[in-house]
Amino acid sequence: MNTVEKKLENKIDQQPSIPPPLGGAGGGELSGSQAVLEACIAEGVDTIFGYPGGAIMPIYDALYDYNDQLKHVLVRHEQGGIHAGQGYARSSGKVGVVFATSGPGATNLVTGLADAMIDSTALVCITGQVFAHLLGTDAFQETDVINITTPVTKWNCQVTDAAEIPHVLAKAFYIARTGRPGPVLIDITKNAQIQKFNYEGYIKCEHIRSYRPKPIIRKEYIEQAAALINQAKKPFVLFGQGIILGKAEKEFKTFIEKGGLPAAWTILGLSALPTDHPQNVGMLGMHGNYGPNVLTNECDVLIAIGMRFDDRVTGRLDKYAKQAKIIHLDIDPAEIDKNVKADVPVWGDCKETLPLLTQLIEAKQHKDWLEKFNAYTQQEIDIVIQEELHPKEGELTMGEVIHLLNELTNGDAIIVTDVGQHQMVACRYAKFNQSKSNITSGGLGTMGFALPAAIGAKFGALDRTVVAVIGDGGFQMTLQEMGTIMQTELNVKILILNNRFLGMVRQWQQLFNDKRYSFVDIQSPDYVQLAKAYGIEGQSVDDRALLKSAIKTMLDHEGSYLLEVMVGKENNVFPMVPQGCSVSEIRLK
């Protein structure tokens, strides 16, 4: 970029009301609404999830003419729309785009924004707003969307002048997808949508002076990190979604293979490394695997990559890996030292830092150390896993359903989970061969996430099988999105694991509240009938002998399919790190 352009760029940053002075393709008179859609096309958007309403009508009117270039998916509730946008973003690695109207339309996005914020999902949400002259008058469907969404957006901005739209949207897409991704919301008043202005083309944003998406990599730290790893006897890698977001799966695999490093994942890191990789030692945290949790407090160097030491991962912080030197690789400087103090902070994009680190580490095999993980795995198999995956008698278990699903999909499906026991079981036992295959609400724990997210995930990866694994509680929160499936004739597999309880809360009530089952006994409608009403085939199964063929029927079915599996009412998820306990105090029963 030459200096003249640079100056222009900065000028634009300071004065967003001036449209970009350099004309790109397609100049001329345009309405604000058309400019919104032109921006979407220029940013490579192919699918939009949304719901129309009064204040966003001009954009929907313009959309009528863009139907051949932009696919719009009409959802049944704005929350469904934004979760679909999240699912799309996570299965495709692109920015999810969501449209909603003002007032209730916009407030219905809030849960999804909070979810996308905590799970670092790139979204651009566009909300309609009342006319600018009505702002602050308590007009019909007016709400202060900018202030409501400020804590749950990476960036948000209100536009009242159509001429600002190209520049603001360019910023929005740039901010959403770069650095640590996150949701961006742009609120556009109705007058700005209608207003015609002299459109001078769309210029993609590549620099904002007050925003540094990536910290500069400091070689000193790479060297220090490598020195620590090279001297380590018991190095242990924890990886999170940063690997997937940074598209650094290959770099990561090379890194751990060269160093012979055992690696465990957070639930958002799941699928970044194939589950059957010999150095993949399993899941971290509250319902994670036995070995990774216990050995966190035994390793000598802990290498955390693209993860944020969530409390569900660390358990009690003052007893977390105190014996170990901590190396923390993250793109977000605010994550360093936030929860766990790093001895060596490696700020930067792991796509760039990992190869630098790999160069400096010695090729090693930590056989004895890896063997230790295997020994714990064996104990876990004996006490928990065998019974969960291969029960001989009694009620069906969630684990055996997931196990059969693995067998029948070969680990190639995208699995979208909701929140609760089924989520933990699915994450623990699902097999994945490729990245971006596990989609779940990890940070916020949003029940009702799975069905709409699965719809979005399918749109983001049309060639892949998408299975939404959902509990009977979560499914009832957003089941209206079966209407979206019906209308789009989408092929999404819905696998309800019905234990007739809000299972995770019940498990806690059993273990910690003396079995005082307070409002966890939840009734279900006839899901198969309900699905039928939406034109979705389905069946319910409670017999072990029929389970495998039922799952096969679901997967083989041409369109969407709902399979309800009646599982044990009072099964618990183990192992478990009880709240307030150290990771090494993990219980196997």
Partner 1 sequence: MKAEYTITVYTENQVGLLNRIAIIFSRRKINIESLNVSPSEAEGIHRFTVVINETEDVVRKLCRQIEKQVEVLKAYFNTNEEIIWQEMALYKVSTDEVAEKLKVERLLREYGARAVVIRKDYTIFETTGHREETDRLVEVLAPYGLIEFVRSARVAIIKASKGFHEKLKEFEAVEPAEELIENEFLDKADQVFTM
Binding site for partner 1 (CB under 8 A): 1, 6, 10, 13-14, 146-147, 150-151, 154-158, 175, 206-212, 215-216, 218, 220-221, 224, 227-228, 231, 332-334, 336-338, 343-345, 347
Q: Which of 141, 487, 510, 539 is catalytic?
A: 141
Q: How far apart are CA 150 and CA 60, in angstroms?
A: 25
Other beta carbons within 10 Å of 201: 16
Reply yes or no on whether 548 is catalytic.
Answer: no
Reply yes or no on whether 78 is catalytic.
Answer: yes
Could you tell me the smallest distance in angstroms from the CB atom of residue 419 to partner 1? Answer: 23
Query: How many angstroms separate the Cα of 587 from the Cα of each of 262, 294, 437?
Result: 22, 10, 29
- 233's CB contacts (< 8 A; 6+ apart) are 300, 366, 369
Given its phi and psi angles, is residue 445 left (phi above 0), alpha (psi -120 to 50 degrees) or beta? left
Which residue's CB is nearer to partner 1, number 99 or number 155?
Answer: 155
Reported as half-sphere exposure (CB side, CA atoms, 13 A), residue 2 has a value of 1
Which residue's CB is nearer to partner 1, number 148 or number 408?
Answer: 148
Give me the DSSP letters along 153-177.
-SEEEEE-SGGGHHHHHHHHHHHHH
Query: How many angstroms separate the Cα of 467 from the Cα of each of 100, 418, 450?
Result: 27, 11, 9
Could you tell me the smallest distance in angstroms from the CB atom of residue 143 to partner 1? Answer: 15
Which residue's CB is nearer to partner 1, number 214 or number 364?
Answer: 214
Query: Which residue, among 544, 406, 403, 541, has the nearest Cα to 465 in the 3D structure?
Result: 406
Could you tell me the smallest distance in angstroms from the CB atom of residue 382 to partner 1? Answer: 39
What is the strand order of the sheet 235-239 is part of? 280-283, 263-265, 235-239, 301-305, 325-330, 344-347
Which residues of 70-192 form beta strands (DSSP E)?
71-74, 96-100, 123-129, 155-159, 183-189
Which residue's CB is nearer to partner 1, number 215 or number 471?
Answer: 215
Which residue's CB is nearer to partner 1, number 360 or number 486?
Answer: 360
Q: Which of 504, 554, 566, 576 is catalytic?
A: 504
Could you tell me the smallest distance in angstroms from the CB atom of residue 266 to partner 1? Answer: 21
Could you tell me the smallest distance in angstroms from the CB atom of residue 526 to partner 1? Answer: 43
Burial of 300 (0-12, 13-18, 19+ CB in 10 A): middle
Could you tell me the smallest distance in angstroms from the CB atom of residue 120 to partner 1? Answer: 12
Which residue's CB is nearer to partner 1, number 302 or number 477?
Answer: 302
Reply yes or no on whether 395 is catalytic.
Answer: no
Which residue's CB is nearer to partner 1, number 175 or number 324?
Answer: 175
Query: How many angstroms separate the Cα of 428 from the Cα of each of 438, 439, 536?
Result: 11, 13, 29
Q: Which of 9, 43, 78, 251 is catalytic?
A: 78
Q: Which of 190, 253, 436, 493 is catalytic?
A: 190
Enter the tokens of residue 316.
Answer: 């009690």
Q: How far apart are CA 267 and CA 434, in angstroms?
A: 15
Q: Which of 140, 341, 512, 529 is catalytic?
A: 140
Q: How far apart are CA 53 and CA 107, in angstroms?
A: 13
Characterize the bridge pairing of strands 47-50 and 438-440: unpaired
Cross-strand pairs, 126: 99, 186
Which residues of 433-505 form beta strands (DSSP E)?
438-440, 466-471, 493-498
Reply yes or no on whether 539 is catalytic.
Answer: no
CB 582 within 8 A of CB 315: yes
Which residue's CB is nearer to partner 1, number 229 or number 273?
Answer: 229
Burial of 525 (0-12, 13-18, 19+ CB in 10 A): exposed
Could you tell me the smallest distance in angstroms from the CB atom of residue 158 to partner 1? Answer: 7
Could you tell me the smallest distance in angstroms from the CB atom of residue 207 to partner 1? Answer: 5
Could you tell me the smallest distance in angstroms from the CB atom of residue 318 to partner 1? Answer: 14
Using the structure block, give the residue that is written with the tokens 């150095």.
Answer: 279
Helices (H), 199-289: 219-231, 242-245, 249-259
CB 446 within 8 A of CB 118: no
Which residue's CB is nearer to partner 1, number 157 or number 453?
Answer: 157
Which residue's CB is nearer to partner 1, number 131 or number 211?
Answer: 211
Reported as half-sphere exposure (CB side, CA atoms, 13 A), residue 106 has a value of 31
Reply yes or no on whether 190 is catalytic.
Answer: yes
Could you tell me the smallest distance in angstroms from the CB atom of residue 579 to partner 1? Answer: 21
Q: Catalytic site residues?
A: 78, 140-141, 190, 504
